[in-house]
Structures are given as structure tokens and as C-alpha cells.
Amino acid sequence: MVRVAMGVTVVLIIGLAVFLGAGHRFLCHQDGTAPGPADLIVVLAGPPDEDRERVAAGVALANAGQHRFMLLPLRHRALTWSWFVRRYRIENPIPDERVLFGRDNDPKSRHALGLGGTFAEAEKTVDVMRAQGFASAIVVSSCYHIRRARLAFERANKDPGLTFDFHAIGIEDAEPNGPWWLDGGYALKVADEYLKLLGGYLFYKQNDKD
């Protein structure tokens, strides 16, 4: 019994060490190459303290590259691009006609009911791309959210003609001068993200739409 307890303790200690050392890097999964030109920049919605950074990064990508449009999927129907520009103090905003909103006119639709969910955003993005004839997109989100975003788009997309790259950004409240887990607020976000990622693997299935 003592040996079993010791073995479990050792496994837990090793697991904790691995998590503290690599848990954040695992979530921030990137291909190592900068995304090239794409038809669309997709900015996933984030909590208030991160959403501005995501939108600003999307605008910077749109201004710097050969990206035709930017999509804000499943944002509230009352929000306009001018609201984002004012609220987030976006510098060098792209023209209004280049900003798309993936909205649902029916507030009781399955997309609208899941407003803000990563998997619902991925499904809506695929719908918009197919309807508008877009073939490629760069998905922008916070670093710790990238692996779940990849999973969501893999599950939502059955069309081999659609391709997705991912652009991860840091967030201001992450600890810049020490281990990520020393920042209590950020460590909680990472732990919560692992729970959501596990839920995504277990409960979100491949989209069966034609």
C-alpha cells in the first residue's frame, strides 16, 4: 500500500513538473512559420481584457498583408465596426466595407444560442467562407487559446478547399519576466483552458453539414 501511495505521489509530482514546464507551450501550438496571404482574417472573441488585443492584431495583419477582409464571427448583433474602433481605440482601422460580421438573424438559431463559443465561431466562419467564396483564412486568438481554436476549426471544416492558419498573440496580464504559473490570474486562465480543451475533445463532434 505504501509503495502504491509513493508511486502515485511520484507520478503526480512528475505530472505537475511537466505541466508547469510545458503546459503553456502545449496550448500555444504554432507551426513555426508566419502565415502567408489569405482571403480572410478571423478574429475570435475573447474576454474584455483580451478582445481589444485580438482585434488590434487582426487589423494589423489586414493592413500589413494581402488580406482582403476581416471577419468577427458571432459578435453581438448591436455592435458595429465603428463601435470597435472607438471602444478599442484602434489605430489605422481598415475600411468598414472590409469588415464582416458573422451574425445570425434568428436569435434562437443554434449559432446564436452558443454566442461566443469557439466551436460555434468556427462553424459560423466556415459558413461565411463557403457563402462568400473564400478559400483561406488566418485565425487570430490569444496564445493559450490556439490549440482549442485549431481543434474547433478541424471539427467544423469538412471542405478540403478551405485552409486555415493561426496567429497567436500574447496578452498583457501574462507574466513577462518569470514562469507563467507565477501569474495567478494567467495560471487560472490556462487551467480553465485545459478543462475546455478536454471538453472539446470529448463532446464536440465533426460537423456533418453538406
CA distance 74 to 207: 17
For the chain, which residues make up each domain, given as ranges? 2-203
CA distance 90 to 80: 13
pLDDT at 28: 75
The residues facing 142 across adjacent strands are: 169
Query: 2-203 adopts what CATH topology?
Result: Rossmann fold (3.40.50)
Residues whose CB is less than 8 angstroms from the CB of residue 147 and which lie 6 or more positions away in sequence, other chains included: 26, 27, 28, 29, 197
Neighbouring C-beta atoms of residue 69, cutoff 10 Å: 19
Per DSSP, the three-state class of 89 is coil
> 166, 30 in Cβ contact below 8 A?
yes
pLDDT at 177: 56
- Note the pLDDT tens digit of each residue in 25-40: 666 766 555 667 899 9
Would the pLDDT of 6 be above 80? no
64 compared with 116, residue with greater pLDDT = 64
The residue count of the chain comes to 210
Local confidence band at 17 (pLDDT 50, 70, 90 cut-offs) = very low
Averaged pLDDT, 126-141 = 94
pTM score over 0.85: no
Which percentage of the chain shows pLDDT scores above 70?
67
CA distance 39 to 170: 24
The dihedral over CA atoms of 141, 35, 175, 24, expressed in degrees to the nearest 10, equals: 80
